[in-house]
Structure 1
């Protein structure tokens, strides 16, 4: 296997990539917004628009060169209820729809943190809350469902006709999975277990449907890997690390994961949870809406070149999540685009350091995704943690991780630059932490 097509569905954008496993590089990228359609019946993802985008992109890739396999990675907190023919019985609900998170009956049903590693989250971020809400508010359609598919496996089913379940998507703050036992939680065993198809490893694959292969110019029998949750795709290259390390998967969400490290008591109130990695192992994780906050702070105008110190916002623009729930700050004074970019970058570095501290992370910090190319962020993160930051750069992350389900990178891994702590930033760290501690003590 060398040329892998990856379907990569983030919360904000969806992409189709060609990854060359000979070099570990993305050689082609197609991108489209991941649109949310309003009610009726509720806000939902435009799966048909995505399907059209995937079809056109895969056809273009086939016309340009070889495709040896397809892999899939998507954001979490999304599932598809399908009938026996694989058709949706209800649209795929947008996890930012608030109603599922406000259901008091579900709060009484859900298992505790000790069983699932899932804190109670707002909106539809606990997937179990979405399923309960759909069952309660759309009972007739729900009754027609034969399978409940995690989002990567929904797309794998459309490509292959084979239904499967997979642990990384089941284990990302869903309330559906017990990570320490490696099985469905008591919530599922009591009412929904029959909806979930056979559990398969993310690297398992089935053949692309013959009609799709013919329509898109791909070879018959092309393997389609069942795929995995996007944060775990970023984690995949580091599962063989010899010592403790941390991985930061950046995007709309900043997902911070500890491999090895200290065993610490996890505070579920602070958006700390247990994910499940591609080996099926529990993985301490903390997160906040880092990419969303960065975009809001910069107004989408990212300009490097700031000179000197800048003010750093206090948390948070999204107080419904992250390490400082309930703190509503995040405002920036009027600044040049360069200074605003540095302020937002330093803020992200400090918030990420807080997340890593909450999960006992140790060792070097690998940054995947867009923030891997942000040196202001990396310097502040290194200074705030006292540990080196290894930036993968813009092109690494979920797409490459998903491609690795098809096989290893063949080229020797090049050394990545390490960003070390900067003594000049220590006063900024100390001042920010003192202000945050004062605010946090008042909550």
Structure 2
């Protein structure tokens, strides 16, 4: 008898994943897909959108036709700050530009001359992050590539584009609009006036609720397809739909993002400088968040340590916590200094000087403890930024760092007044997308 399942594509910057969940959200199947990167029209590295599209379509066809499962629901969770621009025939106009791609300084300066930076940052709850402010991608295209820009008829956020591949529905969705895009005016609850003044707002389709679905037939099988969701917001939704008490969530992976959906305090200029920002819940409410490129930094440091000490890439997973190698009450003895993080203000506050030299340690274990201790100190500072004055005492943690025992033990020791609850199934974003698509809301457009 075929097993009824919900299929979720969970597309991260580093890992492309596919899951099948049963009725009780039990994992029936998973795939991790390695997708080689390509370069865009300027020679900058980016994800291969045609190859990704091919894999997703082929995977759905295979699941439906092999007879082992009955596909009932399909949804998408992806990294944010990424846009797909469609021409009049509904085909992508540009490559899938990497959110790390730099925008020329002249373009940024021109934008902030027209729309003063401090005011715009505060109103949109978005620190100045270049292409990570996804709305600036359209401004950049308009100014730098006018011939390309002239071909654009619709702009979709990445999750909504993957949904569009199966439904043909052009839609925008709150969690994708509201995640540091510089598109949304949190003060007035609408697209920011700069988007209107630049005549860009018409490129975005009508906004539907995150729980909106479409009924389609795929390879002869009726399937309910979700509109897609931003991955960190999806991880948060999985808890918001089930938790009873106020909480914060640390969603870990390439990015570690602390999300606090239980505050209404407006972001301050100092918080914005420390890379605090607003995300948006599936209900359209602001979420105070602080971000760290923590998983990326760990990968960078592991590459250094593995080369230096001649270890296998997975050796670190065998290392147990040795309390003698850290002195939590003497942070000045931590010699680690992060080298790839996005948050210089936070780094400088915690690590006043660059003194990191892993070659000065005699073993991998000693150097690795310094790395994790330093990353935990950063994580704690990030948590405190997101919590602000909120009376929250429960913190959930899910994602890639769930399997790092040293990180978890040190984090609990440095957050002694909080209850830290670790997900035993680090699939928060995928499970959130599954819960949402199964809620069966057919609410019409809200904007």
TM-score range, shorter chain: 0.7 to 0.9
Change (3 A) 1:91 1:239: same
- State the Cα deviation string for residues 301-331 of structure 1 (Å, max 9, x = none): 4323243333545443224336526678484
State the Cα distance separating 1:10 from its structure 2 match.
Answer: 0.5
Indicate yes or no: 2:426 matched with 1:395: yes
* CA shift for structure 1 position 13: 1.6
Q: How does 1:2-401 map to 2 (within 5 A)?
A: 3-22=5-24, 24-43=25-44, 44-62=46-64, 63=66, 64-100=68-104, 103-110=108-115, 112-121=120-129, 123-190=130-197, 191-208=199-216, 210=217, 213-214=218-219, 219-220=221-222, 222-240=223-241, 241-260=243-262, 263=265, 266=268, 267-299=271-303, 300-301=313-314, 302-303=316-317, 304-310=319-325, 312-321=334-343, 324=346, 329=354, 331=356, 333-334=358-359, 336-359=363-386, 360=388, 362-386=392-416, 387-401=418-432
Contact 2:336 2:370 (8 Å CA) reproduced: no
SS state at 2:163 partner: helix
Instruction: Identify which range, 374-383 or 164-173, moves more after superposition.
Output: 374-383
TM-score (norm 1): 0.83
The separation in 2 between residues aligned to 1:330 and 1:132, in whole angstroms, is 40
Alignment CA distance shift 1:118-1:262 (3 Å): closer
1:423 matched residue in structure 2: none
Deviations 1:382-411 (A, max 9, x none): 222221211103532211111111237xxx
Q: Specify the SS of the correspondent of 2:238.
A: helix
**TM-aligned CA distance change 1:262 to 1:141, over 3 Å:** closer
Unpaired segments ≥5 residues, structure 1:
409-443
User: d(CA) in 2 for partners of 1:256 and 1:34?
Assistant: 28
**How big is the shift at 1:148?**
0.8
Contact 2:261 2:286 in 1 (8 A): no
Asked if structure 2 preserves the Cα contact closer than 8 Å seen for 1:125 and 1:174, the reply is yes
For residues 231-284 of structure 1, give each alpha carbon's deviation from its aligned partner in whole angstroms, at most 9, with x where no partner exists. 001100222533321101111100111132594854111110011111111010
Q: Distance in 2 between matches of 1:204 and 1:39?
A: 32
Deviates more, 1:305-314 or 1:49-58: 305-314
2:279, 2:100 → 1: CA distance? 20
Instruction: Give the aligned partner of residue 430 of structure 1.
Output: none
Contact 2:159/2:228 (CA < 8 Å) preserved in 1?
yes
Change (3 A) 1:320 1:369: closer
SS in 2 for 1:17: strand
Deviation of 1:341 after TM superposition, in Å, equals 4.2
Give the deviation of 1:179 after TM superposition.
3.0
| More displaced 10-residue stretch of structure 1: 292-301 or 337-346 | 337-346
CA displacement at 1:90 relative to structure 2: 1.4
Question: TM-score, normalising length from structure 2?
Answer: 0.82
- C-alpha distance in 2, partners of 1:283/1:315? 29
- Matches of 2:82 and 2:54 in 1, distance apart? 19
CA offset at residue 174 of structure 1? 0.7
Q: Residue 379 of structure 1: SS of its match in structure 2?
A: helix
The two structures, once aligned, show a CA RMSD in angstroms of 2.5
Flag structure 2 segments of 5+ consecutive residues without an equivalent: 304-312, 327-333, 440-447
Shift of 1:128: 1.8
1:298 deviates by 1.8
Cα separation, partners in 2 of 1:347 and 1:48, compared to 1, 3 Å? same
Classify the secondary structure of the residue corresponding to 2:53. Answer: helix
Against the structure 1 CA distance between its residues 308 and 256, is the aligned structure 2 distance closer, same or farther, given a 3 Å change threshold?
same
